[in-house]
Structure 1
Amino acid sequence: MNPVQNYISTFSPEVQELLKQVREIITNTAPEAEESIGYGMPAYKLSGKPLVYFAGYKKHIGLYALPSGHEAFAEELNKYKKGKGSVQFPVNEPLPLDLIERIVKFRKEENSG
């Protein structure tokens, strides 16, 4: 089991399913990104630069797309609790999978540019 799979396996089945969905979006959108654990959570790097991170919590899934990734989608993220470079998706609501995919694509283009 790789470190990210091991990380995901430590959560409740419901949270595991959401984390797997986020991981799948990232790995499908940026298959060339390096997957590891950074800051205690799944981390993805592209061209040697951070792409995105995600983390599981009891009541939410955290997505960390650095401040630029969140600023670009600020309007769509307004309904979620946010920090400077993070957003929290409640585990009792469907994940905005399309939005997460567009954020990852944005960060991928930003890293490649």
Structure 2
Amino acid sequence: MKEVEEYINVLPIAIQKIAQEIRSIIKNEAPDCVESISYGMPAYKTFGKPLVYFAVYKNHIGLYATPSGHEQFSNELSKYKQGKGSVQFPLDAPMPYELIRQIVIFRARENTDKFKK
């Protein structure tokens, strides 16, 4: 989607690579997702329900998999700074792509199960 590409393309090159990888994970693990910009950040929905959002900040990437994605992975996320429904992955540390993948898979499955009911 053009809007998300524009969001990513204005970032510094090194950060673009991180954002593109996160975007790829989301689209690979939830191929039917609808991509848009919401609340000023890349947003993904399945079955009309929020899946995940992410945003790039000066010192971190914020991931929003509210609320169940954070609850389900509370142990794995405990070493990261968190807010209500958000987690901050510092840009000066390795990005936990596999954890992000697991969260997206969990949220996609959750949205699918809700839709089927």
TM-score tier by shorter-chain length is over 0.9
Specify the code of the residue in structure 1 equivalent to 2:30: A
Which of structure 1's runs of 4+ aligned residues deviate more than 2 A? none
Give CA-to-partner distance per residue, 1:24-58, whole Å, 9 cap, x none.
10001001000000000000010010000000011
| Stretches of structure 2 lacking an aligned partner (at least 5 in a row) | none
Deviation at 1:16, TM superposition (A): 1.1
For residues 56 and 63 of structure 2, the distance between their equivalents in structure 1, rounded to whole angstroms, comes to 9
Same amino acid, percent of matched pairs: 58
| Pairing 1:60-79 to 2, within 5 Å after superposition | 60-79=60-79
| Stretches of structure 1 lacking an aligned partner (at least 5 in a row) | none
SS at match of 1:95: coil
| Pairing 1:73-112 to 2, within 5 Å after superposition | 73-112=73-112
Residue 44 (structure 2) aligns with:
44
For residues 109 and 7 of structure 1, the distance between their equivalents in structure 2, rounded to whole angstroms, comes to 27
For residues 62 and 11 of structure 1, the distance between their equivalents in structure 2, rounded to whole angstroms, comes to 15
For residues 77 and 21 of structure 1, the distance between their equivalents in structure 2, rounded to whole angstroms, comes to 19
SS at match of 1:66: coil
Name the TM-score, length of structure 1 as normaliser: 0.97
Residue 8 (structure 1) aligns with:
8
For residues 84 and 105 of structure 1, the distance between their equivalents in structure 2, rounded to whole angstroms, comes to 21
